[in-house]
Structure 1
Amino acid sequence: MKKQGETFLNASDFGENFTWGVSTAAYQIEGGHDAQGKGRSIWDNFTANSKNIQNGDNAHVSCDFFNKYKEDILLMKSMNIDNFRFSISWTRILPNGVGTVNNEGIDFYNDVINFCLEQKITPWVTIYHWDLPQALEDKGGWTTRAIIEWFSEFVTICANAFGDRVKNWMVLNEPMVFIGAGYFLGVHAPGKKGLKNFLPAVHHSVLCQAEGGRLLRKLIPQAHIGTTISCSQITPFRKNKRDKATAIKVDALLNRLFIEPTLGLGYPTEEAPILKKLSRYIRPNDMENCKFDFDFIGIQNYTREKVKYSIFVPYIRAKIVKAGKRNVKTTLMDWEVYPPSIYHMIKKYSAYPLIKKIIITENGAAFEDYLKNENIEDTDRLRFLQKYLGQVLNAKNEGLNIHGYFVWTFTDNFEWAEGYYPRFGLVYIDFKSLKRTIKASGKWFSKFLTS
């Protein structure tokens, strides 16, 4: 399977114990937004305002995984994919966020888990992938300390319901993204803005991340427990001192903010002084309670960012220079295609001695996909995966601490504020007929896994 210019032959080059899979998220694929007792999430609320989402899209039906999960899992099996990462919808289990459990929601995930196991596909469960119950947001959501108690209840229910069969768990998905976009920039649900929302939400999510790990360890002693961190290689736009200092600051905010307190290193306040304002939310013993010894850390990398100093940006004095303005190859998300970024991120997190194991829990790309004669020749995505995997192999061959790779994502889905426009899937979905068609990239990945 080696192609000219590639650095790997096949999946076996990564070793027998390397984990391969695909990643998804409940809100992005399930649909069934009010089926069988499911409650309303912040994303149901956010998408109700069509101005918040490209083309006014919503995820009421999406991929209809709620009804088509067997079809998708069988398709996964046919593609030789034997690890499936998915999340649990909080409001499908607890419609009001706390209190009465929706047994039909428990039954749905039991059915998904059991069917995975029947097909010899290992389930990897993410507990929180951005779909906070609206009932809890109405009480303050991630900005209120009560979220620790609410989240602990949700974790406990999931562990007790599914822990006898699910051994691989992730507590949070990309806290920097759901807090930064949802509680600082306001471009994701729940649409809040400003430091007054961002700072308490940061601290409470770090506490929840650790507390979720402790509860899983207590309730499922043999579980393989992780959490996931979004990360991008940060480089200065220019070679001057101000841009170099800005890059260090942005790196602290985007790549270090949620991992370092978890490792007992505290918040990176020296490099990002704005984080000193977190002190008003930190109570006695909090920093000790931020710590948890995870079995693995999932890192999720797509690109690199170039940043420059900007006096016009409040608080951080930093501006990301968009890839589209830098004359580089980009994806539909206006993210630079820069394969070495994933190598640099593996190297960065491998340098933390307390991280036991690193798994790439998301990596992929959105490009234009055209269905022609029942085929989708998505060459750009195929090449993207090959080149990024080449960099992962370079990292592994250097002895860096990398043990697995999950593609984002299995099927095209609802891509948050961008709606259905950017397609990331290995499998194409016609969102009118809901027909699934394996793309060229999916066919390649299937062959790669068995080669």
Structure 2
Amino acid sequence: MTSRATRFPSAETLAAELPRDFALGVATSAFQIEGATREGGRGASTWDAFMHQPGRIRGGATADVATDHIHRLDEDIDLVRDLGVDSYRFSISWPRVQPGGSGRLNDQGVAFYDRLIDRLLADGISPMATLFHWDTPIELSGGWLSRDTAQRFGELAFLLGERFGDRVDHWVTVNEPATVMLNGYALGIHAPGETLLFDALPVAHTLLLGHGYAVEGLRGADVKGLVGITNVHTPTSGATASDEDTAFAGLFDLLHNRIFADPVLLGRYPQPLDEFASLVKPLLELDSRDLDIISQPIDFYGLNYYFPTRIAAGAGRAVSPDGDAAAMTSLPFHLAPWPEFATTGFGWPIAPEFLETTLTEMAERYGSALPPVFITEGGASFAESVVLDGRTGERVVADPRRIDYLARHLESALRATAPGGPAASVDLRGYHVWSLLDNFEWAAGYSQRFGLVHVDFATQERTPKDSYRWLQALAGTRRR
């Protein structure tokens, strides 16, 4: 399967294909944009500690300032408003609203999100709030290896539901539990930096349990908005048709995709091949009452898609899609390349047709158990720079590759879920672009720019890119 060489569809062409109630949105996360890590009563998170450890973040960067969103809220929401999109997905910083991870809420932190939500509503933008986007309070001993963290998270959800539940339209409990487990606890390239490999599997269960407790908390607070979870899905195939490559591809699919979706949607963990049963044994011997909590009905499923994965048997190099990971050399499989695809600045294959594959897999695996779906993240990083327009003197950022990426991925999603499409049974409700702003990109620091808006990190000046103008045109010309 190779990428098509045809030109990407125009904003006007795509606008005509959008269903009338399809939501266009943009997404951010608190730790990546807010800064002000020591202001307003905010506590510390595991990411605060991790990023200050030598060698953890490219270039020694930190998120202490990030894009200074705490102090530039109005400017940033003006950018969302001027885009003309329907929805803004943001996350609530756990250590900012509840330092230490327990007890009463921090008034200063809550006041910031009160102001954010009210600004969005005043501008006709639907708030989508994510409760956990990776910034675990450092005081929670054991982090997501501990059931206590899951229970604390449920308590947080209730408190935030009480405070914001009358104004938030969509709640995402946990963002990408697969990434938290794999990068944070198995491979050590994200906070808290553990390299447990397969012994990190209990983290998956605790994160999902936290999701279940958060659903209970939000429902207990009688929130008016819809409740869901977001995971990142990657369609997985073997590098060759050999039995070994095929088997390990199935294992990776289970570890990355199915152990996070199956319990939520089907109320059970997937059964591995017999030769891998011992690896996932901890998940298959859990108390069924936990699965009852995890599988409570949700109103929507958030799906993040960036790229497909190709797996080959045998140890490989110490490289993951997100950076160097020496622990990967201890695994019995490795990530194989996709030479047929162009790549993003991160080196990720650009393969919009595999978004269609992902949606088709969701339809086939979960059928009527799959609630309405939002693509809660999709985007790409590319190297780009600000230039001055010789005629107007305005600052300009040309990013045609991002426009191509977004247009072809949105086209793929719409094609897959259209009547007669392979995923026609999927009720696709919207697409959120990652991200509104260039930001702190976790272990990559400031080396990867995903934003529709360029940020000069020295001056904090914002410059909308050509992709911002493209999305603006798409939003402005669609059917209402």
Which TM-score applies when normalising by structure 1?
Answer: 0.94
Mapped contact 1:365–1:381 kept (Cα < 8 A): yes
Shift of 1:222: 3.4
Quickly say closer, same or farther: Cα 1:434–1:311, change in 2 above 3 A: closer
| Match of residue 134 from structure 1 | 138
Quickly say closer, same or farther: Cα 1:163–1:334, change in 2 above 3 A: same
- 2:266 alignment partner AA: G
Task: Give per-residue Cα distances to partners, 1:26-76, cap 9 Å, x unaligned.
Answer: 000101111110000111101111310000000011111101011011111
Aligned-pair Cα RMSD in Å: 1.8
Task: Find out whether 1:257 has 2:270 as its counterpart.
Answer: no
| Match of residue 442 from structure 2 | 416
Task: Give per-residue Cα distances to partners, 1:375-414, cap 9 Å, x unaligned.
Answer: 1111111111111111012112222412210000001000
Distance in 2 (CA, whole Å) between partners of 1:322 and 1:166 is 41
Matches within 5 A, 1:36-435: 36-136=40-140, 139-195=141-197, 198-271=200-273, 272-273=276-277, 274-279=279-284, 282-283=286-287, 285-310=289-314, 317-323=332-338, 326=339, 328-351=341-364, 352=366, 353-373=368-388, 374-397=395-418, 398=421, 399-401=424-426, 402-435=428-461
Mapped contact 2:399–2:467 kept (Cα < 8 A): yes
Quickly say closer, same or farther: Cα 1:221–1:102, change in 2 above 3 A: closer
Task: Give per-residue Cα distances to partners, 1:314-368, cap 9 Å, x unaligned.
Answer: 8862211144xx3631111110011111111111112312111111000000011
Mapped contact 2:154–2:216 kept (Cα < 8 A): no
Distance in 1 (CA, whole Å) between partners of 2:223 and 2:348 is 40
Task: Give per-residue Cα distances to partners, 1:243-283, cap 9 Å, x unaligned.
Answer: 12221221111111111011234112324522113356x23
Distance in 1 (CA, whole Å) between partners of 2:46 and 2:7 is 47
Mapped contact 1:346–1:358 kept (Cα < 8 A): no
**SS of corresponding position for 1:308:** strand
Mapped contact 1:231–1:299 kept (Cα < 8 A): yes
Shift of 1:286: 1.9
Matched residue count:
444
Distance in 2 (CA, whole Å) between partners of 1:18 and 1:350 is 19
Task: Find out whether 1:15 has 2:19 as its counterpart.
Answer: yes
- 1:381 alignment partner AA: R
- 2:374 alignment partner AA: I
**SS of corresponding position for 2:72:** helix
Distance in 2 (CA, whole Å) between partners of 1:284 and 1:267 is 10
Mapped contact 1:117–1:123 kept (Cα < 8 A): yes
- 2:45 alignment partner AA: S
Task: Give per-residue Cα distances to partners, 1:276-326, cap 9 Å, x unaligned.
Answer: 13356x235222222121111111001111111116778862211144xx3
Distance in 2 (CA, whole Å) between partners of 1:387 and 1:425 is 17
Distance in 1 (CA, whole Å) between partners of 2:265 and 2:472 is 36
Quickly say closer, same or farther: Cα 1:100–1:217, change in 2 above 3 A: closer
Distance in 2 (CA, whole Å) between partners of 1:5 and 1:449 is 17
- 1:341 alignment partner AA: F
- 1:6 alignment partner AA: P
**SS of corresponding position for 1:35:** coil
* Identity score, percent: 32
**SS of corresponding position for 2:49:** helix
Quickly say closer, same or farther: Cα 1:257–1:314, change in 2 above 3 A: farther
Quickly say closer, same or farther: Cα 1:105–1:311, change in 2 above 3 A: closer
Quickly say closer, same or farther: Cα 1:188–1:87, change in 2 above 3 A: same
Distance in 2 (CA, whole Å) between partners of 1:236 and 1:295 is 34
Mapped contact 1:90–1:133 kept (Cα < 8 A): yes
- Unaligned runs of 5+ residues in structure 1 are none
- 1:28 alignment partner AA: Q
Quickly say closer, same or farther: Cα 1:193–1:439, change in 2 above 3 A: same
- 2:9 alignment partner AA: E
> Once structures 1 and 2 are overlaid, which stretch shifts more, 250-259 or 123-132?
250-259
